Amino acid sequence: MGAGTEPDGSSRSDEEWERFLRESVAGAADAPTEPSARAREVTGRLRTEPPNGSEAWRGYTPARPERRTGWYLVGLLVSLALLVVAFVPGRVVDLFAGDDHAAPAKAGRNPTMDEPFRGSPAADWASGASGITVPEARAVGWMSAAQVEQALARSRDFIVTSGLDRGVLRGERPEQAIALINPHQKDVQDLLKTAFQTPTEKNDPLLLFSRFQPSRSQLVGDVVKTKGQLTYREGERGALQVTADVTFVYPVTRANAGGDGEIVRTIVRRELVLSWDDPDKVTTQPGTFSIVSYKYDMTNGGCGAPTGYLTPPFGDERRADEAGEEVDPYDRDAPVAQGGFGADECGRATRS
């Protein structure tokens, strides 16, 4: 039997031989006391040569865990979405509700007797006359700065009386407002003589005044929301020409409806151009103006033949407005219509 062979004649493997030598070096009990020259050679080689590869023999390096950046990002986005829902739920509802203004999700924003402007852009507007701004006065045409200031104040008084006076809103004749109109302006005086008795499309008091019929509807609360301003420039023959562009929002309910009646917001935007004429050039009465033009837009104020009153639609009556042209009554960048809608037309408010 030659060296390095097993009893059956097979050669000892290198791994077994190296294990034998390692045990010999470690001083195993069955190792020879004096290793052979070959053993000493192999032992030296094992001691001086490093293991194959950069890793230890039979070593193990665990794989690095994969970074889950995608999941962290998803978690962050979900957290942000929850914060948005918590702090601005109304905006989220509007986003998914689309343009359906009758969606049940908006039911909690409907007006109430205590909050008649809830859910309306007008909720953040000023109340009454405070919503009508007046510019600083300067001399124009035949008027000094002091005269212009007085004319602007009286122009504002006309707008306030014709659109905010409680008696006028209840259908009373607007005597104070009429007193500010030049009595020598024949076309306007003819309108005023017939409009309150036999209103027509051309001679309708709503062209200049806001009025509700007390037997049919009543205002909710004591507040009317307004937004608008007066501007001025020099007009013909050196006159002071004042332009008023004001939107009024009236919350109304049925007459004698009690505390739980349906609330409708009637919205009227008026544009009036007034001329404070030089009495030396135009026949006028001191302290009065002539009306150059009048326009108005109106939504939720009724359709059909003129009655001389704003007639807000309640209940099933509102279906008639649904067939009308869609308008945004809060869009103050759009031009005001010529005298409102015709007798057979209605403006359907996209928001109120």
Whether residue 42 is predicted with pLDDT greater than 90 in this model: the reply is: no
Question: Which of 231, 227, 251, 256 lies closest to 241, judged by CA?
Answer: 231
For residue 323, the model assigns a pLDDT of: 60
For residue 349, the model assigns a pLDDT of: 85
For residue 226, the model assigns a pLDDT of: 98
**Tens digit of each residue's pLDDT (9 = 90 or more) over 265-302:** 999 999 999 999 999 999 999 999 999 999 999 999 98
CA distance 42 to 315: 107
Whether residue 238 is predicted with pLDDT greater than 60 in this model: the reply is: yes
For residue 327, the model assigns a pLDDT of: 85
**Tens digit of each residue's pLDDT (9 = 90 or more) over 130-152:** 999 999 999 999 999 999 999 99
Question: Which of 268, 159, 158, 269 lies closest to 212, judged by CA?
Answer: 268
Return all residues near 149 (Cβ < 8 A) that are at least 6 apart: 137
Assigned token pair, 149: 């200031």
Assigned token pair, 39: 């053993």
CA distance 98 to 119: 16
Q: Which amino acid is at 181?
A: I
Whether residue 27 is predicted with pLDDT greater than 90 in this model: the reply is: no
Helices and strands per DSSP (H, E), number in the chain: 9, 9
Instruction: Summarize the confidence of residues 201-223 as an average pLDDT.
Output: 95
Whether residue 231 is predicted with pLDDT greater than 60 in this model: the reply is: yes
Instruction: Summarize the confidence of residues 210-233 as an average pLDDT.
Output: 97
Whether residue 38 is predicted with pLDDT greater than 60 in this model: the reply is: no
Q: Which pLDDT band holds residue 1 (cuts at 50, 70, 90)?
A: very low
Q: Which amino acid is at 30?
A: D
For residue 93, the model assigns a pLDDT of: 41
For residue 305, the model assigns a pLDDT of: 87
Instruction: Give the side-chain half-sphere CA count within 13 A for 93.
Output: 16
Return the higher-pLDDT residue of 320 and 114.
114
What percentage of residues in the chain have a pLDDT greater than 90? Answer: 57
- For 87-120, b where at least 16 C-beta lie within 10 A, e where not — what string? eeeeeeeeeeeeeeeeeeeeeeeebeeebbbebb
Whether residue 59 is predicted with pLDDT greater than 90 in this model: the reply is: no
Sign of CA dihedral 334, 340, 342, 345: positive
Whether residue 338 is predicted with pLDDT greater than 60 in this model: the reply is: no
Residue appearing with tokens 């009308």: 324
Return all residues near 45 (Cβ < 8 A) that are at least 6 apart: none
Q: Which pLDDT band holds residue 4 (cuts at 50, 70, 90)?
A: very low
φ, ψ for residue 261, nearest 5 deg:
-75, 160
For residue 107, the model assigns a pLDDT of: 45
**DSSP readout, 83-138?**
HHHHH-HHHHHHHHHTT-TT-GGGGGGS--SS-TTTTSGGGGSEEGGGGEE-PPP-
| Least confident residue range of 197-206, 236-245, 342-351 | 342-351
> Pseudo-torsion of CA 279, 284, 286, 290, nearest 10°?
-110
**Tens digit of each residue's pLDDT (9 = 90 or more) over 64-121:** 545 555 556 656 676 666 665 555 444 444 444 443 333 333 445 889 999 999 999 9
Beta pairing, strands 217-219 & 263-276? unpaired
**Tens digit of each residue's pLDDT (9 = 90 or more) over 325-335:** 788 999 999 99
For residue 315, the model assigns a pLDDT of: 86
Helix (H, G, I), strand (E, B) or coil at 181: strand
User: What's the chain's average pLDDT?
Assistant: 80
For residue 36, the model assigns a pLDDT of: 58
